Homo-oligomer: A and B are copies of this chain.
């Protein structure tokens, strides 16, 4: 099935399934049912089966999915079985905090695979050359060459709202196709480019229920 046809939110649920499988002891739990995976991720068993069938992954009827195989399949589908080099643009308050948190956080995948933050960028030449938790800050001007040499394929945007469209275009022209945007503004991009918006408001709104 074409990658284009799969709904965005299906892709967004895959890391959650993967997290659940990462947290399981595969010796103790060699098989997981769509019921169990659904209960832990909060969707119906039918939704789990539908999500996974998009990628040709089918459990054994009445039995379930082999947990180890399913984890490997999900890693491959998400292309996390390779190293994914991540860059961050905008070393202000939020950018600095994300670099520190990201570097400090324990990674769930084996060394040499998965996401790795490798470079930061800022237009402010005073910040260039600094290191934050070991991550060097480069000039935004040098982004295109570093996208190539470091194989950056995902960019985190932590620039002010008014700077976001210009920086986005700069990155797209350098060949980047995947962005996580924290700037509080809507961004548009060609159809082959994916932008996810981090939305603290949605998180807070669901918390209002529990207060």
Residues of A within 8 A of B (CB): 3, 7-12, 14-16, 18-19, 39, 41-44, 46-47, 50, 77-80, 84, 86, 92-94, 96-98, 100-102, 104-105, 108, 114-115, 153-154, 156, 158, 161, 176-180, 182, 184, 194, 196, 198, 200-211
Contact = CB atoms under 8 A, between A and B. Distances in A.
A176 B203 CA distance: 17
9 contacts: A7-B42, A15-B206, A19-B202, A79-B209, A84-B208, A94-B97, A94-B101, A101-B184, A194-B207
Contacts of A211: 79, 84, 153-154, 176-178
A127 to B, nearest CB: 13
B15 A161 contact: no
10 A-B pairs closest in CB distance: A9-B42, A94-B97, A15-B205, A153-B211, A194-B210, A93-B97, A93-B93, A178-B211, A178-B207, A7-B42
A116 to B, nearest CB: 10
Instruction: Name, among A102, A156, A203, the residue most crowded by chain B CB atoms within 10 Å (CB to CB).
Output: A203
Q: How many copies does the complex hold?
A: 2
A196 B202 contact: no
A205 B78 contact: yes
Given A16-B202, A78-B208, A93-B100, 7 more contacts: A9-B43, A47-B47, A78-B205, A93-B94, A94-B101, A115-B205, A177-B211
A114 to B, nearest CB: 8
A105 B44 contact: no
Contact of A105 (B16, B184, B208): B184
Given A15-B202, A184-B101, A208 B80 contact: yes
A113 to B, nearest CB: 10
